[in-house]
Structure 1
Amino acid sequence: MEKEIRCYGCGAIIQTENEHQIGFVPKNALSQDHVLCKRCFRMKNYHELQSTTLTNDDFLSILQTIGEKDCLVVYIIDLFDFNGSMIDGFIRHIGMNDVIVIGNKRDILPKSVKDTKIKHWVQRQLKEYNIKPKEVFLTSAIKNYQLDEILECIEEYRQQRDVYVVGVTNVGKSTFINSLLKHYTENTNELLITTSEFPGTTLDLIEIPFDETSSLYDTPGIVNKHQMAHLVKPELLKVILPKSELRPVSYQLNSQQTLYFGALARMDYVSGESQSFICFMPKTLKIHRTKLENADRLYDRHMTLTPEIDEIKTIQEMAAYTLTSLDKKSDVVISGLGWIRIEPHTQVVIRAPKGIGVFIREALI
């Protein structure tokens, strides 16, 4: 029986029979010491995405095996899309294993906000999801932020056991692991895990040995369908995924005014006193203010608002959510797109594509 070979970029089992299936390489590529599948090669060198036949059930089945092991779990969450990066039933999947939570993309949040404040906010949010981690860290995988402290903590809690890095798609798991590899080892340029803004880049477990008896594993990202990244075309991901620090933009709205976020979502301020609404969105996403009485016609013409979703032709095809903040400042979150900070006791209506997560939470900033 031939030895199983896995792509070092995505973890897929290498095969040479069907170039339309995951893990394909030409036969002459098998002679290489480390094999990169065609999908990863095209993604790495030409930024092309090849779709796969894997479903979210396939990814969940891999996650469920972690609960059967004695290991340390490193749970990566996205500070830009905290709610969208939570895994349903996370505690059930991982069993009794210890957890370290790492809030990635710290560089996206304003530098003016202290780490301590963000960390305490994350801890309060995790408590609502009944997640009790051993430690919580903030990091920026692309800027090597706090990697020394994180690795030291992993070594302390793993106690010679395997470590599994888990999270939803696009949360930055593979980038985080690559940062560890670059930071603490040499000559890793040819052996980095494939990363991209495309959801579902990692397809199976990728093993990186710690020593002769234990390893670090990158796991496939769980797909949260309520994130905007799963609805827009791949070429629009660069518009909705922030690459640099968020710059809050304040809009003074009167009653009966609307904010459009491209043509992807909108917020209606139906009634109330004039007040500021502070938007935390990617710089590349255009925000348009208009009167509520004109808002439907503006969308249906599709002349001013971009980017858009081709499948949605009229605003009536979007879902509507009425949200009211409590007795403190709150964030209205549109999963994967950003959030709007609103004042206490404020009511708004959010229109977003059906299935996209819309939440109200304690204000992060």
Structure 2
Amino acid sequence: MGSNHLYDDVWEPTRVSFNRRFHGFVVFIGDSTRELGVHFLKNETDWFDVFARWKAWVEIETGSKLKRLGFNGDGDQFYCNEFVIDTVSIGIERLEKIPIILQEFGMAESVVREITERVQRKPYTPPIVMKRRTKVSRPAARYHYSRHCLWLAGIGDDYKVALQGEVMDDGDEMGSQSLYRVDIVDFNGSFLAHVRDFAGANPIILVVTKVDLLPKGTDLNCVGDWVVEATTKKKLNVLSVHLTSSKSMVGIAGVVSEIQKEKKGRDVYILGSANVGKSAFISALLKLMAQKDPVAATARKYKPIQSAVPGTTLGPIQINAFLGDGKLYDTPGVHLHHRQAAVVHSEDLPALAPQNRLRGQSFPVEASILGGFSIFWGGLVRIDALKVLTSTRLTFYGPKALQLHIVPTAEADDFYKKQLGVLLTPPTGKKRADEWAGLQIIRQVQIKSENHKRSACDIAISGLGWIAVEQVETSGSEKSDETSRELLFAVHVPKPVEIFVRAPLPVGKNGGERYEYRELTEIEEELRPKWYF
């Protein structure tokens, strides 16, 4: 290959087994910079597709064809001042630099062979082990790659593998501490289903964000107990639960105190899905820590990287935030396919993010008003009241931009077709409405309303908010028998948005008054994590 080519020694996709899964990678060496690159592909199924797209990108950039197996035709040996191990997602990001390495003919092939052999010698590591990053100083570690590689490769299983440990790292197994963040407005939708696979047995500090958005009069003690109950069912190793707001700084001091008490020289990882405000949380965390820690004060100068699209951290960011051992890592938010943000146009995303305190939206309770009617929540949700009581009320908690519209169920289909993009937004505008796939998922929700003094349940819509189903006493309501207290709804959402039926979140003054604390045994009381705000 000529000198105008970007890479002259490329080895095709190679498959290697690690932690009982296969991963693909490509090795290449630049003909001018003499940089070694290791491109870890997203997963086994699309590795050739990824390589083909990468190859096409190189050819467009260089204006010439790239041979898959090229080399320096003379086979000369040469030295370089820096040997840079790269990982490629879109373009190249330099990670580790290793000085003065001898290169020779067939270097890419030898790198492939050594990586494969070292990975195959690595014993299976259960997902409970997380290792601290160490500096690469030995020649034996010259093909070391960090957890960044798999992190940049994608999400899901690769994200999981990235947290399990470093394949080539020979450092000490010290474990780590995890700050796991969930959004109280979208608690179920932002809760990672496999968070135990990410954190393993390492202790978790659960940080619940955006509590300042809860309705006025909300008792945070009730909310804290509700969160602990939900977390306990998931069997997480939670040290404590913190109700926080990065905007108002509520609860941040408690998180700082818990980190200082439990860190013990370990690295601290901030985990969570996208759009839970991790970068804003880190800014608030460093602001408070900087008052006593000069290292944190210095770290405040380097803000977490954010992309133009909300909710996207471009890569794992190491932050020197602590005096002594251990680093703080801001990890990329996991984009969950089942949230509304995955189906809504990027320009409509701001409409899904509440900016002010939530106020429940509902219709006045009148005799049988809901029975046989459908309520549209913007263009994203439709709920049909198939069987309800005269006292049934639905209260919608979510973005203010999404308006409610009620029509007879018999007219709902026509109303949606005519008003989508007009009254029913998002999607906004005729063009986006024409491209909209519609509310493809219909789930029937059957609820038993046993106590008019408590909300029956919440119907949570992933990535949006929730609908409180409750009974309101009216002057003309009569006591119903057990059979008639069953409620039936049909909930329509876009594919693949998920619907969760859960215990009611106690919000507002009435929510606190109606909330009932579960009686605990002495052992449960002792082992149960405490909540702070």
Q: In structure 2, what is the equivalent of residue 232 of structure 1?
A: 344
2:164 to 47, 64, 77: 64
Relative contact order (C-alpha < 8 Å, sep 6+): which is higher? 1
Higher mean C-alpha deviation, range 189-198 or range 144-153: 189-198
State whether structure 2 residue 448 is matched by structure 1 residue 348: no
Distance 2:266 2:287 in 1: 22
Identity %: 28
2:207 is paired with a residue of what secondary structure? strand
Q: In structure 2, what is the equivalent of residue 120 of structure 1?
A: 225
Distance 2:325 2:389 in 1: 64
State whether structure 2 residue 446 is matched by structure 1 residue 324: yes
Distance 2:274 2:214 in 1: 20
State whether structure 2 residue 305 is matched by structure 1 residue 194: yes
Q: Which runs of 4+ in 1 moved over 6 A?
A: none
Distance 1:325 1:58 in 2: 38
Cα deviation digits, residues 18-61 of structure 1 (max 9, x gap): 9963759xxxxxxxxxxxxxxxxxxxxxxxxxxx9745444333
Deviation at 1:284, TM superposition (A): 1.4
State whether structure 2 residue 462 is matched by structure 1 residue 335: yes
TM-score in terms of structure 2 length: 0.56
Distance 1:286 1:336 in 2: 16
State whether structure 2 residue 334 is matched by structure 1 residue 222: yes
Distance 1:21 1:325, change over 3 A: farther
Cα deviation digits, residues 70-108 of structure 1 (max 9, x gap): 111111111011111111221233222111111101111
Distance 2:300 2:384 in 1: 49
Alignment of 1:153-302 (within 5 A): 153-185=258-290, 186=297, 190-195=301-306, 198-251=310-363, 252=365, 253-274=369-390, 275-301=392-418, 302=420
Q: In structure 2, what is the equivalent of residue 48 of structure 1?
A: none
TM-score in terms of structure 1 length: 0.80
Q: In structure 1, what is the equivalent of residue 499 of structure 2?
A: 358
Deviation at 1:189, TM superposition (A): 6.1
Distance 2:347 2:182 in 1: 24
Kept in 1, the 8 Å contact 2:202–2:237? The answer is: no
Deviation at 1:190, TM superposition (A): 4.2
Kept in 2, the 8 Å contact 1:300–1:314? The answer is: no
Distance 2:443 2:334 in 1: 26
Distance 2:359 2:306 in 1: 26
- Could you tell me which runs of 5 or more consecutive residues in structure 2 were left unpaired when the two chains were aligned: 1-33, 36-83, 95-151, 167-172, 291-296, 472-485, 507-533
Kept in 1, the 8 Å contact 2:299–2:319? The answer is: no
Higher mean C-alpha deviation, range 232-241 or range 325-334: 325-334
Amino acid at match of 1:260: F
Kept in 1, the 8 Å contact 2:190–2:276? The answer is: yes
Amino acid at match of 2:382: R
Alignment of 1:81-120 (within 5 A): 81-120=186-225
Alignment of 1:20-99 (within 5 A): 21=91, 54-65=154-165, 70-99=175-204
Kept in 1, the 8 Å contact 2:160–2:197? The answer is: no
Distance 1:208 1:260 in 2: 48
- Could you tell me which runs of 5 or more consecutive residues in structure 1 were left unpaired when the two chains were aligned: 3-13, 25-51
Deviation at 1:212, TM superposition (A): 3.8
Higher mean C-alpha deviation, range 112-121 or range 245-254: 245-254
Alignment of 1:139-158 (within 5 A): 139-158=244-263
Deviation at 1:144, TM superposition (A): 1.1
Kept in 2, the 8 Å contact 1:205–1:218? The answer is: yes
Deviation at 1:127, TM superposition (A): 1.4
Distance 2:459 2:347 in 1: 26
Cα deviation digits, residues 165-187 of structure 1 (max 9, x gap): 11111111121111111233246
Amino acid at match of 1:65: G
Distance 1:261 1:53 in 2: 36
Distance 1:273 1:135, change over 3 A: same
Higher Rg of the two aligned structures: 2
Cα deviation digits, residues 142-163 of structure 1 (max 9, x gap): 2211211210111111122211
Distance 1:220 1:314 in 2: 29
Count of residues paired in the alignment: 326
Distance 2:266 2:405 in 1: 52
Distance 1:233 1:172 in 2: 20
Deviation at 1:285, TM superposition (A): 1.3
Kept in 2, the 8 Å contact 1:182–1:188? The answer is: no
Deviation at 1:258, TM superposition (A): 1.0
Distance 1:173 1:15 in 2: 28
Alignment of 1:304-315 (within 5 A): 304-308=423-427, 310=433, 313=436, 315=438
Higher mean C-alpha deviation, range 79-88 or range 197-206: 197-206
Distance 1:364 1:212, change over 3 A: same
Higher mean C-alpha deviation, range 129-138 or range 320-329: 320-329
Amino acid at match of 1:79: I
